Structure 1
Amino acid sequence: MRITALAPLVCSIAAFILGMLCLFAGHKPGFLEDYHIVTLNTSTLGYNLVPTTTASGAAAATPTSLLSWIEEEAKNITSEIENEFETELNNIAGDIADKLASELGIDQWYSLHLMDYCEGTYSPNATAKGAKKNVTSCSKQTAMYHFDITQTIDDQLHLGKYNISLTDIDWSDKLQDGINALNVAMDATFVLYAIGIAAAGLAILTSLIAFFLHGSRLISFGNWGLASIAFIAFLICSIIITIVQKKFTSIINKYGNDIGLYAHRGSKYLVITWVATAVMFLAMVAWVVEFCIGRKKRSREYTEKRSGGWRHRRSDESALRRSGV
């Protein structure tokens, strides 16, 4: 048995499990929901439709005017009253967000996973610090799933109390362009995750073979090849996810904040995909070391064998000369 094969074996198992989590996170309500790629906060979507009144009595239709007025008034109150007042304002704002989403007929958040999306509400309300997400439903899990949140929200708005559309809340075409780019990237990511997981799975099996078979450099080389394939696949996936999260949230927040739409990156998903990449890299390095050690050991055995054979011939010749032959 080769004890040294245990290290890359453990790394391959870890990468395989983490890769499966990246693939299947959120495949049903409540299953690793926190491990989303991105989440869209729609609890304030449509705030630009809510008329607000300024001090002069003029009506405004921007969601930021209400929040700015509240913040300015809160700053002008003494510190003791300010704390109580801010608490009340947060509760009021949370109630407004909850009621607004309910009236429009949409959920308060939509989270994207690799093969589906989930939706739900915030608890106790959308603006509460550390609010928890309650999952109401998830879409059907599909390979190379396309996140068509525009159509989903539009359909829900039409079914809502006011029967409005995305056009009524000034939904920008730039938002759809960002979603389309996201879907293309997710297609490539799914394929690469599948390759990485398959290679890591095969590496587990071949690592077990290497563990029980002693001294086979061919097996070490094959394991290195599988580990390299898995590492490269996970590395590209992790890079794509990192870039997509940054670009997508930037586009959504740039063109969506004015209508109450916000995007948040899934940091936990980013952690597990990079950890999977790291452990697969360790497995790859371990097999390189194992291959080199096996080669050095075989070279030493060959040298010792030749040296032993040469000394044996010299001894035989000396014995013959002494006997006069």
Structure 2
Amino acid sequence: MRLTALFPLACAVVAFVLSMLCLFAGHKPGFMEDYAIVTLNTSTLGHNLIPTATTSSGPSPTATSIGSFFSSIAHNISSTIEGDLNSIIGDVADKLAKEIGIKQWYSLHLMDLCEGTYAPNATQKGAHENVTTCSNQTAMYHFDISKQLNQELEIGPLHINLSDINWPSEIQDGLNALNTALDATFVLYAIGIAAAGCAILASLVACFLHGSHLISFGNWGLATISFLALLIASIIVTVVQSKATKLINKYGNEIGAYAYKGNKYLVLTWVAVAVMFLAMLAWVAEFCVGKRNKGREYTEKSSGRGWGRSRRSDEAALRRSGV
């Protein structure tokens, strides 16, 4: 058994598993929800529409459904927990999302979108994410958060839409441009996973074949394809994360929308790249060592044949001389 092939085999297996997790993270409620690409916190979305009310004698807002609701929240907060700012923020955050009909957070995964609420509340440090639902898993999923929010607002208790909460159109316009990059990421992950899977099978073959540097070269080729595909996919995800969070925070913070990078997802994808890189280096070493050993064997055989011919020639010369 070729024990030196076990290390790149193990690396290929690890890269294959991690890449699959990157692809299928969040495909159902509760499955690796912490490994989202981007998470959008909407627990305070629309807070800018709440009238400032420091006393109960302040002017009342226009008598519309949304105005009455926000006025009621402001009045209750100011009268019951006045002076405790942190409690006020937490209370508003928990009530806002529920009353206008949206969830407190939305998370983008490579093939779907999940949503849910925070427990015990949105402002609690280290709050837990309770997953409510996830969209159907779709290859090359497009992150259309504006459409999702608008649908939920329209069927919510107040029957409002994005324009009522001053949702900036620049957010979705920017995300639409990033969706193309995510499409490419999906394809690259698929290539990387397929190549890693083939590398696993080829590595198993190499474990039982000795001295074949062509097998090592083939394994190196598969490992290289997988490494490059995963590397480019990881770079794209890193850039998309950065641009998406900056975009949402730039235009959304004023109305209560906040975006966060999925750092755990980044760790997952870059570790997959690293182990596949190690597998590629291991097969390079295997190929070089195998080629050197074969060259040494050829030299030894050639020397042996030359020495044999020289000995036979000397014996023949001695016989001809009568010795």
Q: Return the TM-score normalized by structure 2.
A: 0.90
For residues 267-299 of structure 1, give each alpha carbon's deviation from its aligned partner in whole angstroms, at most 9, with x where no partner exists: 000001001111111111111111110110000
The runs of at least 4 consecutive aligned structure 1 residues that moved more than 4 Å come to 54-61
Please state whether the residue corresponding to 1:263 is helix, strand or coil.
Answer: strand
Conserved in 2, the CA contact under 8 Å of 1:25 and 1:31? yes
Conserved in 2, the CA contact under 8 Å of 1:115 and 1:144? yes
Conserved in 2, the CA contact under 8 Å of 1:52 and 1:59? no
Q: Structure 1 residue aligned with 2:123, among 114, 120, 127? A: 127
Please state whether the residue corresponding to 1:137 is helix, strand or coil.
Answer: strand
- Alpha-carbon distance between aligned partners in 2 of 1:44 and 1:5, rounded to the nearest angstrom: 55
For residues 78-103 of structure 1, give each alpha carbon's deviation from its aligned partner in whole angstroms, at most 9, with x where no partner exists: xxxxxxx99x5333321211111100
The aligned counterpart of 1:95 is 91
Please state whether the residue corresponding to 2:204 is helix, strand or coil.
Answer: helix
* Alignment of 1:195 onto 2:195: no
Deviation, structure 1 residue 318:
2.0
For residues 214-246 of structure 1, give each alpha carbon's deviation from its aligned partner in whole angstroms, at most 9, with x where no partner exists: 111111111111111101100000100110100
- Which letter maps to 2:15? A
Conserved in 2, the CA contact under 8 Å of 1:91 and 1:128? no
Deviation, structure 1 residue 57:
6.1
- Alpha-carbon distance between aligned partners in 2 of 1:272 and 1:59, rounded to the nearest angstrom: 52
The aligned counterpart of 2:26 is 26
Aligned-residue sequence identity (percent) comes to 65
Shift in CA distance, 305/122, structure 1 to aligned 2, threshold 3 Å: same
For residues 120-167 of structure 1, give each alpha carbon's deviation from its aligned partner in whole angstroms, at most 9, with x where no partner exists: 000000000000100011000011111111111101111112111100
- Which letter maps to 1:211? C
Please state whether the residue corresponding to 1:161 is helix, strand or coil.
Answer: coil
The aligned counterpart of 1:67 is none
CA RMSD for the aligned pairs? 2.1
* Alignment of 1:110 onto 2:101: no
The aligned counterpart of 2:38 is 38
The aligned counterpart of 1:154 is 150
The aligned counterpart of 2:265 is 269
The aligned counterpart of 1:74 is none
For residues 246-281 of structure 1, give each alpha carbon's deviation from its aligned partner in whole angstroms, at most 9, with x where no partner exists: 011000000000010000000000001001111111
Alignment of 1:169-248 (within 5 A): 169-248=165-244
- Alpha-carbon distance between aligned partners in 2 of 1:35 and 1:290, rounded to the nearest angstrom: 35
Count of residues in Structure 1 that have an aligned counterpart in Structure 2: 303
Consecutive unaligned residues of structure 2, counting only runs of 5 or more, are: 62-66, 71-81
Please state whether the residue corresponding to 1:258 is helix, strand or coil.
Answer: helix
Please state whether the residue corresponding to 2:289 is helix, strand or coil.
Answer: helix
- Alpha-carbon distance between aligned partners in 2 of 1:180 and 1:96, rounded to the nearest angstrom: 31
- Which letter maps to 1:10? A
Consecutive unaligned residues of structure 1, counting only runs of 5 or more, are: 64-84
For residues 185-215 of structure 1, give each alpha carbon's deviation from its aligned partner in whole angstroms, at most 9, with x where no partner exists: 1111000000000000000000000111111
- Alpha-carbon distance between aligned partners in 1 of 2:130 and 2:246, rounded to the nearest angstrom: 25
Deviation, structure 1 residue 44:
0.3
Please state whether the residue corresponding to 1:128 is helix, strand or coil.
Answer: coil
